[in-house]
Amino acid sequence: MTNAPEDEPGTLQLILLRHAHVASDGRCIGWTDVPLSDTGRAQCTTLITTDGPLRQLLNAGSGNLHLASSDLRRARDTAVAIGECVRVPIHESADLREMHFGAWEGRTWAALEAEDGEQLATWMALWQVAAPPGGESLAHMQRRVATALRRLTQRPERRVLVVSHAGWIRLALCLLQDRPVREMFEITVPHAQPIVLSVARRPL
């Protein structure tokens, strides 16, 4: 989704980008700090080449750029590739992280189903309000996303590029487009594919 209109007065161009591919091996990796895969590193190269989707977008846009990134490695390394290309600093924030899955971090979903099936089933049934053991509820994450969006949409730059994670971006789109959170998993967020929005400069 890269065809948002050019900025109008009182708006900024918000570019949401999921980090490049990682080898999760079926594991729960919310806050687990994993590196990019070989595929992910190749995606970063494609993203910023002359004909890449992000390079074309940045070349076509007007105004300066604020580059924000989750502080997790997979997002940060994606942002570094972009920052080196367009020569802007990266502003890291833990508010841009994926959901925190607590005690489930790093475990395979198959193992969770086999060993903690009851807890997993409860969480999946009540996913909008329940939290994994020692982790973060969706309601808490939603507040975190809203706080970050409020800060980012008040930036003085004309364009804001956010490198984050699938869950964070889905929640952000629900908030920005007034969609109910229950629809968040209907939103497709591919790795390393920019989603572009024209956003009013006002608190959410």
- Rounded to whole angstroms, the Cα distance separating 62 from 73 reads 29
Is residue 6, in this structure, part of any structural domain at all?
Answer: no
Instruction: Tell me whether residue 112 is in a domain.
Output: yes
Say which CATH number the domain at 61 has: 3.40.50.1240
Q: How far apart are CA 57 and CA 118, in angstroms?
A: 46
What residues make up the domain containing 60? 11-200
Strands 65-70 and 11-18: unpaired
Q: What is the pTM of this model?
A: 0.91
pLDDT at 186: 95
| pLDDT above 90 (res 7) | no
pLDDT of residue 56: 76
Using DSSP's 3-state secondary structure scheme, residue 17 falls into strand
Percent of the chain at pLDDT > 70 equals 92
Q: Which tokens in the block code for residue 18? A: 């999921």
Residue 1 lies inside a defined structural domain of this protein:
no
Q: Structurally, how many domains does the chain consist of?
A: 1
pLDDT digits (tens, 9 = 90+) for 81-116: 999 888 899 999 999 999 999 999 999 999 999 999
Q: What is the mean pLDDT of the chain?
A: 91
Residue 153 domain-assigned (yes or no): yes
Q: What is the pLDDT of residues 14-44, one digit of tens each?
A: 999 999 999 988 899 999 999 999 999 999 9
What is the per-residue pLDDT for 85? Answer: 87
Q: How confident is the model at residue 66 (pLDDT cuts 50, 70, 90)?
A: very high
User: Can you list the positions of beta strands (E) in 41-167?
Assistant: 65-70, 90-93, 159-164
Closest CA to 82 of 115, 112, 44, 35: 44
Asked if the structure places residue 90 within a domain, the reply is: yes
pLDDT higher than threshold 50 for residue 142: yes
